[in-house]
Amino acid sequence: MTTDTPDEDGFTGQDMSHAVGADAATGGSATATADIAVRTEDVWKIYAQEPEDVEAVRGVSLEIREGDFMTMAGPSGSGKTTLLNLLGGLTRPTRGRIWVRDKEITNFSGKELARMRLESIGFVFQAFNLLPVLSALENAEFSLLLRGVPAEERHRRVQELFAEIGLDGLESRKPARLSGGQQQRVAVARAVVGEPTLVLADEPTANLDSHSSDDLLDVMERLNREHGTTFLFSTHDPRVVERARRRVSLVDGQIVSDERG
Amino acid sequence: MTDDRWIWLRLAWRNLWRNRKRTLITASALSVGYLASVTMIGLWEGMLAEMIESGTNLVTGQLQIHSPDYYPERSMYATLGGRDGIDVDELVRLTQETPGVVAASPRVYGGGLVSSGSETVAGMLVGVDPEREADVTQLLSFPAEGRAPRAGEREIFIGQGMAELLEVGPGDEVVLVAPAADGSLGNDLYEVSGVFSTGLVALDGSFGILPIGSLQELMYMPENRIHEIAASIEDPFAVAALGDSLGATLDAQGLDYPVLPRPWTVFRAELAAYADLAGAVNGLVVGIIFIMAVFGVANTMLLGTFERRREFAVVRALGTPPAKVAVTVVYEGLIMGVLALAAGVALSVPVLFWLHNYPPDLSNLFGEISAAGGVIRPVLRAEYSVGGPLASGIGLLVTSILSALYPAYKAVKILPADALANL
């Protein structure tokens, strides 16, 4: 059994020979199809811990299609956040393989994962996690800036998005002067402005009141419907689960149900 | 964030001001370190200047011109130009005309016995041109008793220690016996014109100053034979370069005898060694100041890094390359260093001005101190220099960057998933 230790890139890694072995065992048959945003194959995440290792994710195989608006629900400790981190390239699997579109990211270096996250993944966090020294506009355009998009185009895209999600006029405000709902909408703008393959939202409504939660879900639903943005929510919130068109349930690190409709 | 080139610098600037008090306190610590460093270097250079001044102005001058074979044996026969002698006035003039030279004066040296009654003391006899010498050294200028010897008179100006041993004072006669250039022994009666007291035991106990003509007469040497041209110069710290340029100037004159200018660092080697040692100790102390500052600032910056773990995790999660995260933290250190440098310069200018122009006189607490053949007044006078503030400024900026390196490393090593999970 292999367990995780941080590597020089600051990521918890896996025994790569094992992953390569898995590829060889399947004869390289695992290939991605065009409309699949993210795919996992028998992904495990095991944390070395005393007195015994913790198996946070156990053999998850999952396909997320482009345009999905899906939730991942489960009790605390069921492995939701860990699976989200694996899909977003924030941590590496102990075993198994992960593809983002047609690229396998399992063996990516820390630098390659950073590039992949920048280009393909949007994150929305429970605690908003906006950078307090930046204005709403600067926060939202941050990933575009990292991609080298010219300032003029960045501003145009963010302002259009702000107008669309009800943040018009708040561009210059620092996060401390925004309500929780406004901050989370800025975070959503930051996540979607670069048109990523997948937006991972970890309990996005947990720190919001019901009115703000509904507003936020409206925004994300509209972005999904009108722009085809793929969303995966990790959540306990029944309002989020109700709106999802696909619902995955996780228990003890394993998918126990996957329903559409 | 309109100008992308400076985004990480701007981010660092804004981050610094998130905790204004902490930034100001940390920058103040660096500024005080800079002030301490600049002041220490200034005072050390002031003390050194005082030592060099007193150690060279008193007797030797800062630059001496000899025949190449004169030093270190100081043979009586190794006069400039050898037996033929030189045009003394011309060499003095050429020396004085060299840029950087203040004044020059010819000298003759001899060893001999000085006697009075039944007492005899071995002495170093120095023949000087009293008028010219007054512009080069100060020994003749401050007699403790009597006066300096006059040109053309058979007079001797002796140290306090010698006067006490011989039990003589101004107006008394002493007998001088000295080996002469023709192989005989010269001897004659000389009147004590005055007594000097430098506080340096060796000097006060064994030196006798005579008009150059009188000593040449005693040693059967013609007027055109001298051992040395002593010179005072504008900048004692630039003596090596001036010695080279003087040598080149004299060579260019096509003199028909060899000359070799020697800086005070050669004929007052113990003073130069003491200055080097003091400089090394001073450098060490300044180094310790900045090393202490590195740990203090690094500790504060590390604290700031830990406080912002989640933010670093977020920017990493968004795809920021680790190098950019590190650069931002290093920029924070650098900006703090620049701010501290500006404040440090603003603080140190009036302090140095005060110490240079109105130095505290500690004479009431300490008497004069003699060290390495020089006398130091207990005055805290700082010398102006470019090197001290420049070295301290570089030290401060290097300190601020070094202080940021470990926090930057820690920021890069933050695991985004763990930090976002508050682990």
pLDDT of B242-259, one tens digit each? 999 888 888 888 888 999
Least Cα distance to B107 among B144, B70, B141, B72 occurs for B70
**Which residues of chain B are within 8 Å of residue A129 when distances are taken between CB atoms?**
310-311, 314, 420
Confidence at residue B377, expressed as pLDDT on a 0 to 100 scale: 73
Residue B9 sits in the same domain as residue B138: no
Residue B109 sits in the same domain as residue B235: yes
* Number of Cβ pairs < 8 A linking chain A and chain B: 80
Is the separation of the CB atoms in B219 and B186 below 8 Å? yes
pLDDT in tens, A151-207: 999 999 999 999 988 899 999 999 999 999 999 999 999 999 998 999 999 989 888
Smallest CA–CA separation between A31 and chain B, in Å? 26
Is the separation of the CB atoms in B68 and B260 below 8 Å? yes
Q: Which residue of B has its CA nearest to A131?
A: B311
SS3 of residue A218 by DSSP: helix
Query: CA-CA distance, B107 to B129, in Å (whole number)?
Result: 7
Could you write out the DSSP letters of every residue in A126-163?
A: TT----TTS-HHHHHTHHHHHHT--HHHHHHHHHHHHH
Residue B280 sits in the same domain as residue B248: no
Percent of chain B past pLDDT 90, that is, above it, reads 57
CB contact (8 A) between residue B320 and residue A119: no
Q: Of A6, A81, A116, which has the smallest distance from its Cβ to B421's Cβ? A: A81
pLDDT band at A1 (very low <50, low <70, confident <90, very high): very low
pLDDT band at A19 (very low <50, low <70, confident <90, very high): very low
Q: Is the dihedral of CA A17, A21, A22, A24 positive or negative?
A: positive
Confidence at residue B388, expressed as pLDDT on a 0 to 100 scale: 87
Confidence at residue B182, expressed as pLDDT on a 0 to 100 scale: 87
Residue B335 sits in the same domain as residue B394: yes
Confidence at residue A94, expressed as pLDDT on a 0 to 100 scale: 95
Q: Residue B407, by phi and psi: left (phi above 0), alpha (psi -120 to 50) or beta?
A: alpha
**Which residues of chain B are within 8 Å of residue A111 when distances are taken between CB atoms?**
321-322
Residue B50 structural domain: 4-56+272-420
Torsion of CA B320, B326, B327, B331, to 10 degrees: 130
Of residues B236 and A70, which shows the higher confidence score? Answer: A70
Is the separation of the CB atoms in B359 and B43 below 8 Å? no
Residue ranges of A 143-172 with Cβ closer than 8 A to chain B: 143, 145-146, 148, 151
Question: Which helix (H) or strand (E) covers residue A255, if one does?
Answer: strand A254-260
Residue range B27-44: mean pLDDT, rounded: 91
Is A211 near chain B, with CB under 8 Å? Answer: no
Q: Of B317, B319, B412, which has the smallest distance from its Cβ to A115's Cβ? A: B319
CB contact (8 A) between residue A134 and residue B7: no
Its ipTM equals 0.83
CB contact (8 A) between residue B18 and residue A190: no
Residue B346 sits in the same domain as residue B332: yes
Of residues B338 and B388, which shows the higher confidence score? Answer: B338
Residue B146 sits in the same domain as residue B37: no
Smallest CA–CA separation between B394 and chain A, in Å? 30
Domain count, chain B: 2
Residue B400 sits in the same domain as residue B314: yes
CATH 3.90.580.10 fits A64-92+103-260, yes or no: no
Q: Of B4, B319, B415, which has the smallest distance from its Cβ to A114's Cβ? A: B319
Read off the DSSP letter of residue A56. E
Residue range B1-21: mean pLDDT, rounded: 82
Q: Provide CB contacts within 8 A for B15, sequence distance 6+.
A: A133, B304, B308, B328, B332
User: Would you say residue B423 has pLDDT above 60?
Assistant: no
Residue B259 sits in the same domain as residue B396: no
Checking DSSP bridges between strand B101-116 and strand B260-263, what pairing results, if any? unpaired
Confidence at residue A61, expressed as pLDDT on a 0 to 100 scale: 95
Q: Of B14, B18, B317, which has the smallest distance from its Cβ to A117's Cβ? A: B317
Among B267, B297, B328, give the residue marking a domain's end: B267
Among B249, B267, B285, give the residue marking a domain's end: B267
Smallest CA–CA separation between A111 and chain B, in Å? 7
User: Would you say residue A24 has pLDDT above 70?
Assistant: no
Query: CA-CA distance, B410 to B403, in Å (whole number)?
Result: 12
Confidence at residue A57, expressed as pLDDT on a 0 to 100 scale: 95
Least Cα distance to B294 among B402, B142, B198 occurs for B402
Among B267, B301, B333, give the residue marking a domain's end: B267
Q: Residue B66, by phi and psi: left (phi above 0), alpha (psi -120 to 50) or beta?
A: beta
Query: CA-CA distance, A23 to A215, in Å (whole number)?
Result: 44
Confidence at residue B212, expressed as pLDDT on a 0 to 100 scale: 95
pLDDT in tens, B161-211: 999 999 999 999 999 999 998 889 999 999 999 999 988 888 899 999 999
- The domain ranges of chain A are 64-92+103-260
pLDDT in tens, B264-287: 998 888 888 888 888 888 888 888
CB contact (8 A) between residue B316 and residue A145: no
Residue from A142, A158, A186 whose CB has the most chain B CBs within 10 Å, to mutate: A142
Residue from B305, B316, B318 whose CB has the most chain A CBs within 10 Å, to mutate: B318
Percent of chain B past pLDDT 70, that is, above it, reads 96
Least Cα distance to B3 among A258, A154, A164 occurs for A154
Residue B192 sits in the same domain as residue B306: no
Least Cα distance to A256 among A96, A69, A31, A79 occurs for A79
Q: Which residue of B has its CA nearest to A117?
A: B319
**Which residues of chain B are within 8 Å of residue A142 when distances are taken between CB atoms?**
315, 318
CB contact (8 A) between residue B317 and residue A141: no
User: Would you say residue A124 has pLDDT above 50?
Assistant: yes
Name the residue type at position A11: F
Residue B243 sits in the same domain as residue B277: no
Query: CA-CA distance, B273 to B258, in Å (whole number)?
Result: 28
Residue B345 sits in the same domain as residue B416: yes
Confidence at residue B422, expressed as pLDDT on a 0 to 100 scale: 64
pLDDT in tens, A217-261: 998 898 899 888 999 999 988 889 999 999 999 999 999 999 987
Of A130-134, B3-7, B57-61, the range with the lowest mean pLDDT is B3-7
Least Cα distance to A16 among A95, A86, A112, A116 occurs for A95
Is the separation of the CB atoms in A58 and A46 below 8 Å? no
Of A19-28, A96-105, B332-341, B372-381, the range with the lowest mean pLDDT is A19-28
CB contact (8 A) between residue A81 and residue B415: no
Residue B260 sits in the same domain as residue B282: no
